[in-house]
Every structure is written in structure tokens, then in C-alpha cells.
Amino acid sequence: MPLEPQGSQVLAQDGNAMVLSMGPQHPSTHGVLQIMLEIEGESVVKAEPEIGYLHTGIEKSAENLFWTQAQTVIERMDYLAPESNSLCYALAVEKLLGITDRIPERAQQIRVIVAELTRIASHCVWLGTHGIDLGALSIFFYCFDLRENILDVQEAAGGARMHPNYVRIGGLQADLPDGHVERLDALLKKFPTRMRELRAILQKNPIWQDRTIDVGTVTPEQAVAWGLTGPALRASGIAYDVRKAFPYSGYENYKFDVPTRTEGDAYARFVVRLDEMEQSMRIVQQARDAMKAGPIMIDDAKIAPPPKEAIALSMEALIHHFKVVSEGIRVPPGDVYQAIESPRGELGYYVVSDGNNKPFRVRTRPPSLYNLQALKGIAPGNLIADLVVMIGSLDPVFGEVDR
């Protein structure tokens, strides 16, 4: 008998109850999730998710890299919304450095655009894969087409489709390329039609409604007890959004609603996320209209390397560049907790610095971990097929759960 079940297999059979390991390799568990199910027939008596199949030791790696190098590994935690991780880490380190109010306004606006586009892209993956799990195959293509358009825009700005490492400590890596505003405009023009199509496919679909209404209902007390945040919490009625509660990066300047539902079931979470996509595009429109010209990186040579053009002309610029790249920046000692609203919920970093050029500890508050843990509470009493609906509606990303 192997120590850890490898693959779906029956582990024990006792009377009517059976313990089944819905193993780490499964098409519907959205990644490497193993669920130890105690089932009677088709209904779940107990569900215990087992995680750790994607544990990457990111937090330990970050302790051995410079502050800016650590950002590359940290970006790979939530791999469906990578710029959120980058943004939260950069904001946390900027808090420690004490430069939060010196970040240029253009950099903040572009950060907001990048963060909101990432949110829409992440929700596209969620909707496509959620649909596939339940058998609705065509929505996958609509969602991923929209995601491709967004990733093309992100690639033009940041240099890579995923993990562009575009948001840096102190600002951004580089300014937007020429013609980027036109690209954004094309995307903004295409979006309402695509959003209508996404809604038309599933929102009033009787099969979809049959499978998601009253499935995985979470009351507000349960949601707070399980530490749910993000769309799962807002679908239960509590409109906690970190962008409104603890505004960062200029979010207080944009007008947007926080979609909330009160039913708390999978259908409510579905509608909340769809509404959120529209609100995100509204924010992108406002940020694009209010975009100011100016620098995109803080003007402090101890934190940000000087622009490459200055290196040929100024000795100090060359020295600063060399120091920042070879020795890293130095962050004053202290500890700070910074949270942002990632597509999955409240993503927080508790960053501890001991004054060196490497982070001392980067503890992540992963929203997906706490969202997934709620499965233990809401799964019992449902069918196995409903379990798939619940996992999809909670939207876990295992890079973040396991780190």
C-alpha cells in the first residue's frame, strides 16, 4: 500500500461508505488537487482536500535572492494573474522603503490598467475552465479568444504574455510602447460585444442554472469563518473589496461598483465574477482617459537603476546602475503587511526586512488557500458532480495554494 495514494483509487470500503482518493491527476480538479472523499453512493459524506503537489519553495527561494530578483519567483505564485503578485510585492516593499507617495502618477495609472486587464484575463480562464468542467465546451473558446487579445496587449507593454515582470519596485520596468493607447482602444471597443456573448451563452442557460443554483451555498457567517475573500465573499453578501476598503495605487480616483449577491451559491459567484469583468473594463477606460505624461519610475538612484541613456553620459549613473544590479537595493529594516484585491480575493504579503539586500521573509496570504479550505465545510451532503461545480466556483490556483 503506497504511503500516499497516487491517482484516483479506492482506499477503504466500510459498509456503505467508501473512501475514494480523487487523485492529483484529474481533469476536473483545476490543477494538482487531491481530495480524499468519503462517499456513500454518489453523495459526499466528507471531503478533505490534500494540497502540496505544487509546492515550489517560493518563499525560501525569495530569501536567497535580491529584492528585485525575488519578484521574479514571487510573480510565479498565482500564474493566472501574475501581475497581481508583482504589484502587491512592489507595494509592500515600497511601503517598507517609505516611497509610496513618491511613485509617479503615470506609473500608478499604468499599474491599474495592467492589474485590471489581468483580472479580466484571469476571470476568462476561470469561466472557460469552469464551463469545460461542466460540459459547456464552446465558452472555452470565447473566453480564451478574449484572453489572447488581453495577453497581446500585455505582451506589447511588458514584453511577455505571462510573467512579464513589468511592475517593479518604484514604478514600472519601461514606458508603454508607441501605439499602445490604440491597442487599448481596440480592446475596449471589442469588449462589450464579447461580454454580451459570454453572458448569452451561459447566464440564462437552464442546464447551467440547474447545475449551479443552490450548489455550494455559503452563508455570510460561514464565509467569514472560513476566511473567504474576493468574489466568493461578495457572492454571500459581504461587499469587502480591498480596492475600496484599503485603496492602493490610486484606486480612490476611479468610479466603480462592487458587484454583490446575497444567495451565496455557485451561480451567485458566477454572476459576481461576470459583473466584475465589466467593472474592471470600466476602470481601464477611466485610467486610459486620465493618463498623464511623465516618468514611470521613481527618481531615486538607490532604488531604481538610472535609465540606460544616462549611463553613457554620467559617471554617477553608471556607478548607481552597477551597484543596483550587482548588489541589489537595500531596504530599511521593518515588517509590513500589504494587501491587494487579486482576482481570487485578498492577496497579502507580510514582508520582513532586516536591512539587507535580500528579503528576510516574504509570507504570502494566499486567497486560494483559504477559499479552497472552505470546500471541507460546504462539500458534505452534495453529489460528486456538485463537488466539481464547487471547486470551479471557488477558483483555486495551485501555484498560490502550494507556493
DSSP string, 135-160: T--HHHHHHHHHHHHHHHHHHHHHSS
Among 36, 38, 53, 201, binds another protein (CB under 8 A): 53
Residue 109 vs 371, nearer CB to another protein:
371
Determine the interface stretch with another protein among 102-110, 135-143, 187-195, 370-378 (rule: CB under 8 A).
370-378
Per CB under 8 A, which of residues 131..160 are in contact with another protein?
A: 160
Instruction: Give dist(CA 331, CA 338) in Å, integer.
Output: 16
Nearer to another protein, 26 or 273 (CB): 26
| Cα end-to-end distance, the chain, whole Å | 29
Q: Is residue 72 near another protein by the rule CB under 8 A?
A: yes
Kindly indicate which of the ranges 107-115, 119-127, 190-198, 361-369 contains the residues binding another protein, using the contact rule CB under 8 A. 361-369
Closer CB to another protein, 79 or 166, in the complex:
79
Render 63-107 in DSSP notation, one character per residue: TTS-HHHHHHHHHTSSTTSHHHHHHHHHHHHHHHHT-GGGS-HHH
- The single residue among 25, 138, 203, 314 that binds another protein, judged by CB under 8 A, is 25
Q: What is the DSSP letter of 26?
A: -
Contacting another protein within 93-132 (CB under 8 A): 95-96, 98, 100
CB–CB of 264/219 below 8 Å? yes
How distant, in Å, are the alpha carbons of 125, 154, 279, 387 from that of 142? 10, 19, 19, 25
CB of 206 to another protein, least distance (A): 28
Q: Which of 1, 3, 312, 315 binds another protein (CB under 8 A)?
A: 3
54 makes contact with another protein (CB under 8 A):
yes
22, 51, 90, 287: which one binds another protein (CB under 8 A): 51
- State which residue, 181 or 225, has the beta carbon closest to another protein: 225
DSSP state for residue 172 in the 8-state scheme: E
Give the residue with the Cβ less far from another protein, 47 or 339. 339
**DSSP string across 283-348:** HHHHHHHT---S-SB-S-TTTSPPPHHHHTT-HHHHHHHHHHHHH-----SEEEEEEEEETTEEEE
| Residue 4 engages another protein in binding (rule: CB under 8 A) | yes
Question: Which residues in 266-325 contact another protein (CB under 8 A)?
Answer: none
Find the binding residues for another protein in span 177-196 (CB under 8 A): none
Cβ nearer to another protein, comparing 72 with 205 = 72
CB of 190 to another protein, least distance (A): 21
Which of these segments, 105-113, 136-144, 222-230, 304-312, binds another protein (CB under 8 A)? 222-230
Burial profile 153-185: b = 16 or more Cβ within 10 angstroms, e = fewer = bbeebbeeebbbbbbbbbbbeebbeeebeebbe
Cβ–Cβ contacts within 10 Å for residue 321, how many? Answer: 19
Nearer to another protein, 99 or 291 (CB): 99
| Residue 51, CA distances (Å) to 4, 379, 399 in order | 12, 16, 11
Q: Residue 161 or 323: which CB sits closer to another protein?
A: 161
H or E element, residue 43: strand 43-50
Q: Report the nearest approach of another protein to the CB of residue 365 (Å).
A: 4
User: Could you say whether residue 352 binds another protein (CB under 8 A)?
Assistant: yes
